[in-house]
Amino acid sequence: MKNIFLAFLMAVALASCSNNTKLNLSSFKIADRPGMVNISVDESGAVTAWGKKAATLTPDGAVVDATGQEIARLDAQGNLTGSYIKTPVRIDEDGTLYLKGSPEMHWNSEGEFVKGDSKLGYYMLPADSNAYRAASVVFYLYSGLFAR
User: Taking the mean position of all CA atoms in its chain, how far away is CA 74?
Assistant: 7
User: On the CB side of 70, how many CA atoms lie within 13 Å of its CA?
Assistant: 10
Name the DSSP class of 129: G
The more confidently predicted of residues 114 and 19 is 114
The more confidently predicted of residues 116 and 3 is 116
- 101-140 confidence digits (pLDDT tens): 889 999 999 999 999 989 999 999 999 999 999 999 999 9
Question: What is the chain's mean pLDDT, rounded?
Answer: 85
How many residues does this entry show for the chain?
A: 148
Name the DSSP class of 130: G
Q: Region of 93 please: left (phi>0), alpha (psi -120 to 50) or beta.
A: alpha
Task: Check pLDDT > 70 for residue 31.
Answer: yes
pLDDT of residue 101: 85
Task: Give the SS3 label for residue 44.
Answer: coil
Preceding omega of 88 cis (within 30 degrees of 0): no
- 41-54 confidence digits (pLDDT tens): 999 999 999 899 99
What are the CA-CA distances from residue 119 to residues 21, 40, 52, 113 (Å)?
29, 20, 27, 6
As a whole number of angstroms, the distance between CA 85 and CA 71 comes to 9
pLDDT of residue 33: 74
pLDDT of residue 19: 52
Predicted TM-score of the model (pTM): 0.83
The more confidently predicted of residues 143 and 148 is 143
The candidate with the shortest Cα–Cα distance to 97, out of 56, 146, 38, 58, is 146
Task: Check pLDDT > 60 for residue 93.
Answer: yes
